[in-house]
Structure formats: C-alpha cells, structure tokens
Structure 1
Amino acid sequence: MSTEDDVRRLCLALPGVTERLSWQRPAWFAKTLLARIWEDGVLTVKTTEREALAAMEPEIYFWTPHHERSPLLVLLRLERVDPVELAELLAESHRLAGGARR
C-alpha cells in the first residue's frame, strides 16, 4: 500500500523535482509533469508500459477518456501499489518528464 506522502517523498528525492498545484491537486514536475494526484488515492504518472500494466493489473492501472490522447499517462490506485513498484514507476516517469540524471 502506498500513500500520497510516499509519492511526495519519492518524487522530491529525485533530482530537479519541484512540487506545485496542477488543477488544484498536488503535482510534481521535472521539465514537465512527472506525477499528479488525480483524485483521492489515484495518481497520474508517465510510463511507456500503460497498455501492458492495465492489461495485467486492471484493478490498479487504468485511464479515462480524458487521458486517451496522452499515451504515456496512466492512472493508478495508490492503495494497491507496493512502495517498491511505486518508486520504480516514479523513476521512469521522472526520466520521461525530462528529469536530470544523478
């Protein structure tokens, strides 16, 4: 189980990441959006594996019609994601958002 506090801690540990509101929700940015709280307990991240993740674990990974035109964005239910997996997803999202390497 992961929480918004886990997301905040993991994102801010990545180089060059800042936090600010996006659509009145907490969001983290590298050069572009890295992650955003979509609604209570749902997080938006970038991944190249959206289709595979949603096919393998649809109870965790999904997207809405709003996200159809952004093939790198996936929504995930935080309460169902292991913190280690969350860290890996955020690291990939950081890379895709143009984040600086250490």
Structure 2
Amino acid sequence: MATWADVDLMCGRLPGAEQGQAHEGSPAWFAGRHPFARLRWDDAGRELVQVWTDEMDTGPALAERRDTFVRIDTFRYRVTMWARLDRLDARELAELLLDSYDVRGGPRRRGDTGLADLLR
C-alpha cells in the first residue's frame, strides 16, 4: 500500500524532478515544466496519483482494474491515469512514476536513479 509520502520519496530521486503545485494548488512533481505525478483525491478522500503514459492502449489493458485505476483519459499522444495509491505496491508505483517521468520530461533526463531496482 503506497501513500503520497512514497511518491515524494521516489520522485525525489529523479534527476531534475522538482516538487511544486499544480495549477489549483495540489502537490505535484515536475520534469521541466510538465507535471508527471500529481496528488488527487476521490470522493471518499482517498489519495490518488495522476500519472501519464504514451501507451495508447492503456484503457483497454487496465479495464479489469478499474478498482485501482479509477480514471483513464486517452488523448491524441498521451494517456493520463488516476490510480488509488492504497492499491499500489512499491514496484507498480515505481513503474508508473518512471514511465510518467520519461513521457513528460524525456528519458534522457533520467540516468541511473536506483528506482529500477524495484522493478527487478
């Protein structure tokens, strides 16, 4: 079970990632000028993380996991997902954050973060 504190710890290890606020004031992490992780809440007050991917078939691929991925919006070149943090483990959260960081800030930015160790 992950929390926003886990997001902070992981994102803090990414080169050039900066903690800030989204346009309405919620906590967010930025890769350059683009947010790649953003805190949201559901109607019950549970923490959600918003992330991005370039995997355009994400909606159908996660159709069976709507209890975790409560919102998936597909745009022309990107997909954004809102996931319940309390339903993600550290490995899946790291995968989502790394993908989002690469998509929003460019993979050349990353280098060796140590987060890949969680993916093994």
Q: Give the TM bin, normalised by the shorter chain.
A: 0.7 to 0.9
TM-score, normalised relative to structure 1: 0.86
Give the unaligned 5+ runs of structure 1.
none
Question: Highest Rg: 1 or 2?
Answer: 2
1:101 aligns with 2:107: no
Q: CA separation in 2, counterparts of 1:80 and 1:26?
A: 20
**Greater relative contact order (Cα 8 A, min sep 6): structure 1 or 2?**
1
How many Å apart are 1:69 and its aligned residue? Answer: 4.8
CA RMSD of aligned residues (A): 1.9
Aligned to 1:44: 50
TM-score, normalised relative to structure 2: 0.74
1:27 aligns with 2:28: yes
1:11 aligns with 2:11: yes
Aligned identity (percent) is 32
Aligned to 2:116: none
Q: Which moved more, 1:50-59 or 1:12-21?
A: 50-59
Q: CA separation in 2, counterparts of 1:53 and 1:45?
A: 16
Q: CA separation in 2, counterparts of 1:76 and 1:89?
A: 10
